[in-house]
Structure formats: structure tokens, C-alpha cells
Amino acid sequence: MAGIFTAGDIVEAAIQVETKGESFYKRVAGKAANEQVRDLFLYLGGEEIKHRETFQGLLQRVGQFELPAWSTDQEYQEYLESLVESHILFGDGLGDTILTHMQSEAEALRFAMGFEKDTILFFMEMRELVPESEKRFVQECIEEERDHLRKLRTMLKSL
């Protein structure tokens, strides 16, 4: 990762998260034998598209806004970069490897729960870095990601 220097940089990272999430959910839906699990994954893939569109609009509005002064500290920059790099779908082909070796729908649901938790953590940091006028859009996505996590847990418990 090149570094996060503007609000636009962090929004672009969020767009990447949503794009990878959409791809993952569509691919895992294609492997699901259980119709309810497949429908949930297709629904979540559609939600990732909505979030990506939200963040694309946000990117146009925040563009090159500088990050708050406190966020340019080297340690915080490294923390942000590690959040993105350690995200479950960003490790060098990790998502593809895991998807290839998934043995069950329960395993896919657990992996998806990890994706949603990583995304929530990243978005919570992102919310603090965008201009005040844009925080509500990020908060709405956080709430939706939390709902996704609840839905995944409910589905896992039903198997």
C-alpha cells in the first residue's frame, strides 16, 4: 500500500474493500448448495455494490481533503495500512486460496463473518478521518455491515 495521505486515499481503500467483498460473495454464492445460504451471499454481494457506490460518491466530495493533523503521525499511518493489508480479503491472494479450499457452507459463513468484522473495524477508523459532513454516510455503512454480521451469524446458527 502506497500510504494514506488524504481522505480520498482512505475512501479509495474502502472502495477496494467493497469490490473484493462483492466478488467474494458472488463466487461463494455460486458454490453454495443450500438455497438460503446462496440467497444470503447474493444479497450481501448486492449490498457491497451499494456501499461501493456510496463511497464513490463520497470520493468525489472529499477528494483531496487533507486528513486531520493527528492522523498523519507515522504510527497511525502504519496502523491504517496494517488495517487494510491485514483485511481478510487483501492478503496476497488469501481470499482466493480460502475460497478454493472451503469445505462447507459453515466455513464460508465464518469466513464472511471475518470479512464483515474487518470491514467494520476499517470503516470505524475511516469515519474519524472524513470531514464532519460525510461521517453519517460512513456510519450508515457501518450499521449495514453490522447487520450483515448478524445475518451471517443467524444463518450459521441455523445450519
User: Would residue 104 count as lying in a domain?
Assistant: yes
User: Three cell numbers at 137?
Assistant: 454516510
Residue 151 clears pLDDT 70, i.e. is over it: yes
DSSP alpha helix (H) spans, the chain = 7-31, 35-62, 74-85, 94-101, 105-129, 135-158
Does 21 reside within a domain? yes
Reported pTM = 0.88
Given a cut of 70, is residue 4 above it in pLDDT?
A: no
Which amino acid, 20? K
Please report whether residue 132 resides in a domain: yes
Cell of 114: 471475518
In a domain, 17, yes or no: yes
Contact between 130 and 58 (Cβ < 8 Å): yes
Residue 106: CATH number of its domain: 1.20.1260.10
In a domain, 66, yes or no: yes
* Between 143 and 89, the higher pLDDT residue: 143
Does 37 fall in a domain? Answer: yes
pLDDT tens column, 78-120: 888 888 788 877 666 656 677 778 889 999 999 999 999 999 9
Give the pLDDT score at 65.
Answer: 75
pLDDT for 121-130, tens place per residue? 999 998 988 8
Whether 32 maps to a domain, the answer reads yes
pLDDT mean over 132-154: 94
Query: Is the separation of the CB atoms in 127 and 135 below 8 Å?
Result: yes
Answer yes or no: is pLDDT of 25 > 70: yes
Return mean pLDDT, the chain.
Answer: 88
Kindly state the greatest CA–CA separation across the chain: 50
- Total tally of structural domains belonging to the chain: 1
Boundaries of domain holding 23: 7-158
| 14 domain-assigned | yes
Residue 2 has pLDDT above 60, yes or no: no
- Sign (positive/negative) of CA torsion 65, 68, 73, 78? negative
